[in-house]
């Protein structure tokens, strides 16, 4: 019997991909904590291995708990299918490797996560797969950056940690003219705030560790796209490289997803208030938040994001020592990488998440030594403001 499909996002978060009647009436999806599955006969095992019969074989190749999560994520991102991985970087690497071979070229947005940068460098040095960065501000700029050997365009938006935005609809239109797929890291937005596939892009990746999990207790990644491409990844870089998610971690993500909409609303509300506060502070040089009208990409945010998000980057008037002194004086806000947790987190990109990026490249991306990245949590925004205020007084 075909399961009911849901239209509204908040209902999909809770019900998509799961029918309690198929699992003894259990309200919550069960955790299928098993490495392998038995066959009724040797012939059935043969049929499953030769794809003549659907069914489970081994949890690296498929697991019921994981499949519920994959179906739900595909629906939330308007894709045909999804695959889950043991980390966000496992999802990114599986996607990038599946799409490339020696001699190919990748065109990237002007900034990417530090570990993605490291992966690109490794692919260049070890396998001869080149890459370039582009601000992707206009069609002409994008067309100029595309090479004959460009096999896909890889975009972060908002870009980590500068909060620059890329017009996904424009990029998708140019890419389709050239027959090039577009891969988007949608981690900063979650499916609640932005849906790249509905804007014309082809593949979406998430570090599900962040907003999808939402509670700082799981490491995971997700890739969403059309069935053909997901099958290609499943039969190559997922199956053979093996960076799969565990059933328990999939269960944690299913639990976290149920509150995604209400959490994102609170993250965004708190971030907007704190961004306004920081913008008015005399010791703050610059605030990078897409919800401000003075942000260079405010019009793009209005067009493709439901809300401006829960991430703020800002530069203090000073240097690395200034930034680190400020961080050390915080009492409520925690110094930690990652984002999307209930707790508010702050980190120093130049020496933490993007330390692997050479200084010259960091500066081209807009990452200076005074830049800080704030993942705004679910606390009272007034308490967060007061904590920032007392720390700024010590700078």
pLDDT of residue 364: 86
CB 109 within 8 A of CB 133: yes
Structure tokens at 321: 């020592």
Q: In what order do the strands lie in the sheet with 150-156?
A: 81-85, 221-225, 203-207, 182-185, 150-156, 105-109, 130-134
Active site residues: 60, 113, 185, 210
What phi, psi does 366 have (nearest 5°)? 95, 20
Structure tokens at 272: 């907007």
Identify which of 172, 154, 156 has the alpha carbon closest to the alpha carbon of residue 104.
154
Q: Where are the beta strands (DSSP E) in 217-273?
A: 221-225
Query: The CATH number of 9-257 is which of 3.40.50.300, 3.40.640.10, 2.40.50.110, 3.30.450.20?
Result: 3.40.640.10
Structure tokens at 379: 């606390």
Write the CB contacts of 269 (distance below 8 Å, at least 6 apart in sequence).
Answer: 381
Helix (H) or strand (E) holding 364: helix 359-365
CA atoms within 13 A on the CB side of 386: 6
CB 127 within 8 A of CB 96: no
Q: Is 3.30.10.20 the CATH number for 261-393?
A: no
Q: What is the largest CA-CA distance in the chain?
A: 74
pLDDT of residue 306: 98
Q: How do the pLDDT tens digits run along the chain, 395 residues long? A: 456 679 999 999 999 999 999 999 999 999 999 999 999 999 999 999 999 999 999 999 999 999 999 999 999 999 999 999 999 999 999 999 999 999 999 999 999 999 999 999 999 999 999 999 999 999 999 999 999 999 999 999 999 999 999 999 999 999 999 999 999 999 999 999 999 999 999 999 999 999 999 999 999 999 999 999 999 999 899 999 999 999 999 999 999 999 999 999 999 999 999 999 999 999 999 999 999 998 999 999 999 999 999 999 999 999 999 999 999 999 999 999 999 999 999 999 999 999 999 999 898 889 999 999 999 999 999 999 999 999 999 99
DSSP reduced 3-state for 105:
strand
Write the CB contacts of 239 (distance below 8 Å, at least 6 apart in sequence).
Answer: 60, 61
Question: How far apart are the C-alpha atoms of 137 and 294, rounded to whole Å?
Answer: 17
Domain ranges for the chain, please list them. 9-257, 261-393
CB 308 within 8 A of CB 278: no
Identify which of 358, 359, 354, 393 has the alpha carbon closest to the alpha carbon of residue 373.
354
């Amino acid at each position: 019997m075909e399961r009911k499909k849901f239209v509204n996002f908040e209902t999909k978060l809770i019900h998509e991909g799961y029918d309690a009647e198929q699992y003894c009436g259990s309200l919550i999806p069960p955790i299928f904590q098993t490495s392998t599955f038995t066959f009724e006969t040797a012939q059935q095992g043969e049929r499953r291995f030769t794809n003549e019969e659907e069914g489970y074989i081994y949890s690296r190749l498929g697991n019921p708990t994981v499949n519920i999560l994959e179906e739900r994520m595909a629906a939330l991102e308007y894709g045909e299918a999804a695959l889950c991985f043991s980390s966000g970087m496992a999802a990114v690497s599986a996607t990038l490797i599946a799409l490339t071979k020696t001699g190919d070229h990748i065109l990237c947005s002007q900034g990417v996560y530090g570990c993605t940068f490291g992966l690109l460098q490794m692919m260049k040095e070890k396998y001869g797969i080149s890459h370039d960065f582009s601000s992707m501000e206009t069609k002409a700029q994008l067309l100029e950056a595309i090479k004959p050997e460009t096999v896909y365009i890889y975009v972060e938006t908002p870009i980590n940690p500068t909060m620059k935005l890329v017009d996904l609809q424009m990029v998708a239109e140019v890419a389709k003219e050239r027959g090039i797929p577009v891969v988007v890291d949608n981690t900063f937005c979650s499916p609640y705030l932005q849906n790249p596939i509905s804007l014309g892009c082809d593949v979406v990746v998430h570090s599900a560790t962040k907003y999808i999990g939402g509670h700082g207790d799981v490491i995971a990644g997700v890739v969403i796209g059309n069935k053909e491409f997901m099958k290609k990844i499943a039969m190559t870089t997922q199956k053979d490289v093996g960076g799969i998610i565990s059933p328990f971690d999939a269960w944690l993500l299913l639990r976290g997803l149920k509150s995604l909409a209400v959490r994102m609303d609170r993250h965004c509300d708190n971030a907007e208030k704190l961004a306004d506060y920081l913008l008015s502070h005399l010791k703050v040089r610059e605030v990078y938040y897409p919800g401000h009208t003075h942000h260079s990409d405010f019009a793009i945010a209005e067009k493709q994001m439901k809300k401006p998000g829960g991430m703020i980057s800002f530069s203090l008037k000073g240097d690395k020592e200034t930034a680190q002194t400020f961080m050390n004086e915080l009492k409520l806000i925690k110094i930690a990488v990652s984002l999307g947790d209930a707790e508010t987190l702050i980190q120093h990109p130049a020496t933490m998440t993007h330390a692997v990026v050479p200084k010259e490249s960091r500066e081209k991306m807009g990452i200076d030594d005074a830049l800080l990245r704030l993942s705004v949590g679910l606390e009272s925004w007034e308490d967060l403001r007061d904590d920032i205020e007392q720390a700024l007084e010590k700078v």
